[in-house]
A and B are shown apart, each in its own frame.
Chain A
């Protein structure tokens, strides 16, 4: 009996309190802002969506809730998108890593064509109303923009950062080996990849016997040269023949053979340590000076600072051989079935606007894809004390502007994986270069045909 009374009473109280909350909420929020509350669901990975900026956007738009879902397994973000697209249900904003660009450009129907969207406008942050993707395209690095364009010309993603790729080198170790340490002079050591390998051999020849036995090398992993050279060309594994997927040219493209042969040459010259990147050995080696150079995208600078804080001031950045480079980057797009396209587009255009990209660069070291910033003193003049006050903004800006657009195809990731494994087999001395290449071709045949 007693229980019954209590429940009755509390139920009444609950109804009353809910009602009063509703009234209070109604009275106080409606006049403050006319906009309806909206939730933007974002699928992302890693640190593509930065916490500080999310807080900033929430302050600008209290009515907007950003619901961010991160996936930890690399291919999963893409896999979830495939499921979401075939089920025509899913998020409002999705982050796509550039290695998936080739895949998604074949399926523009999964994305809203951003040329058809118009910004609501936000005078306080300098975003005018009525801007389509075509209007803002001029702000971005042209080849980087192309990675977010579908085969039919529709814009399916706007670039966040651009990786860039330059050589991070250890001043102290260069000095010990009798090499120049000034970044201009260092860059002059290696105008070409062959010169880079020769420099590496020189470095190795100066090493003590004990160091040689301990596996010390010039570059952390010679296999990374492959991707660097591939990105310096004008085509990878596909040529644009106007079709949805493009034409496969991996076996005939001289760039592939050049990149493969140069990497094999570097591997056989023994200039690399054979340590895999992002392994614990790599982190330790970075501290111990096991290698003197790393091919470093801009975002890796932050990683080096975090993993080897004691090496501050011992690093510097010099231009990469062969001219320019890139590794990584992400696009943000809006799926075609998103429920809050307008809110998503407003968020996206704000988040990727040059002003925000500059903030991200300064706090997290992600290099902006907004090329209008490449003349901005705030970027060009930026020097990093950890890297011996190298003008990293200037160096990376010069590097990324040397690249050209590359047509990316559906199976690019799979082809990259197969070739990477082939280089790994040679590095581990499991196979000769010729045998390994034969197996790569065999594996690729399966990738393409099966």
Chain B
């Protein structure tokens, strides 16, 4: 251990990220924080940082770079400045894709959440038999291939011979609904697929946080004469606030990434692009139309949308947690 004299001691506290290079100072690069005196910390974080830099950061930077070009990965590329962004903002398909994405998101998130909370409430019931069976089977849709799901659901939703249309006919509906060509019907079909796939996962999350609610709350409320519904409304739901926010955030991220379901229904997003989502729009521009630079610009646009939504989420989450502490 080298002891520094007054003259050598740095005047400002050193930033932990920029240790000075003299050997004398190296030994106590982080005065007072003994464990950081070596550089081992860097080694520990290196795997993540390197992986993130190579597979996360570098592609992002590269995308930003190629968004300023008419980019041809195999031929010559020309710098076009902000042309891609200018074209994009005037492209009606972008706004169509934005509308579709949010419509599908809303149709898949909110009904799903209500159903997941309901299912979790049933599974929470102590008198239910075969609890672990149901809890396990809930995850089966989640591990099913999206392609397989789409095949099955497009049979269910088939216009001429689909079961759903036959059921609706039985209920007295005169015309078969074309679930592919209509705007809202196609969104309902896609949202149903997403709901079916994710409802089990969300149910388990709700169930876990329901099981964490102290039993005393229920006991005391039943002493006060609360009915089952009142217990649910005034005990369970308020306790789930944070979980609901979590599920909403995760659902929003997933909702902005909806790709395989519409792609499998019709690769171009429908004849009038009625279910073209943002990611499908990006994919088709890059890999069908070979507009890589344009697609990169769409990617950046999606990033901004995500940033805005994250900010909104952040505000809401903070508000809720503040309410909780009150």
- Interface residues contributed by chain A, number (CB under 8 Å): 45
Please state if A78 and B272 are interface contacts (CB–CB under 8 Å). Answer: no
By the criterion CB–CB under 8 Å, are B74 and A417 in contact?
no
Bitwise, B162-190 to A at CB < 8 A (1) or not (0) is 10000000000000001011000000000
CB distance from B66 to the nearest CB of A (A): 12
When chains A and B are docked, how far (Å) is the Cα of A424 from the Cα of B158?
17
Whether B162 and A281, one on each chain, are in contact in the complex, defined by CB atoms closer than 8 angstroms, is yes
Tell me whether B321 is interfacial, beta carbon within 8 Å.
no
What residues of chain B lie closer than 8 Å to A83, measured between beta carbons?
73
Q: Tell me, yes or no, whether B155 is within 8 Å of chain A by CB.
A: yes
Is B75 an interface position by the 8 A CB rule? yes
The verdict on A414 contacting B288 (CB below 8 Å), with A421-B271, A450-B91 known, is yes
Query: What are the residues of chain B within 8 A of A110 when measuring CB–CB?
Result: 74
Interface residues of A in 61-107 (CB under 8 A from B): 72-75, 78-79, 82-83, 85-86, 103, 106-107
**In the complex the two chains form, is B288's CB within 8 Å of A424's CB?**
no
Chosen A-B contacts, 6 in total, with CB atoms closer than 8 Å, are A75-B287, A85-B73, A275-B160, A410-B290, A421-B272, A430-B181
B267 lies within 8 A of A74 (CB): yes
Interface residues on chain B, number (Cβ under 8 Å): 33
Partner of B87, one of A422, A425, A427, A450: A450
Q: Which of B180, B263, B271, B289 contacts A425 (CB 8 A)?
A: B271
**Given the complex, which residues of B lie within 8 Å of A420, measured CB to CB?**
268
A421-B268 in contact (CB<8A): yes
Check B161–A414 contact: CB distance below 8 A. Answer: no
Report Cα–Cα, A285/B291, bound state, in Å: 38
A280 with B155: in contact, given A275-B160, A414-B288 (CB under 8 Å)? yes
Q: Which residues of B contact A (CB under 8 A)?
A: 73-75, 84, 87, 91, 93, 147, 151, 154-155, 158-162, 178, 180-181, 263, 267-268, 270-273, 285, 287-291, 294
A355 interface residue per 8 A CB criterion: no
Instruction: For the complex formed, measure the closest distance between the CB of B199 and the CB atoms of chain A, giving whole angstroms.
Output: 24
A430-B271 in contact given A279-B154, A447-B289, A450-B91 (Cβ < 8 Å): yes
| Chain B residues with CB under 8 A of A109 | 74
**How many Å lie between the Cα of A281 and that of B179 in the bound state?**
12
Kindly state the separation between the CA atoms of A449 and B158 in the bound complex, as whole angstroms. Answer: 37
Interface hub of A82, A214, A420 (most chain B Cβ within 10 A)? A82
Q: Is the CB of A276 within 8 A of B180?
A: yes
Instruction: List the 6 closest pairs (A to B, CB-CB), nearest first.
Output: A424-B271, A280-B155, A428-B181, A414-B289, A284-B161, A86-B73
- Contact B91–A78 (Cβ < 8 Å): no
Instruction: Report A276 CB to chain B, min CB distance, Å.
Output: 7
Is A191 an interface position by the 8 A CB rule?
A: no
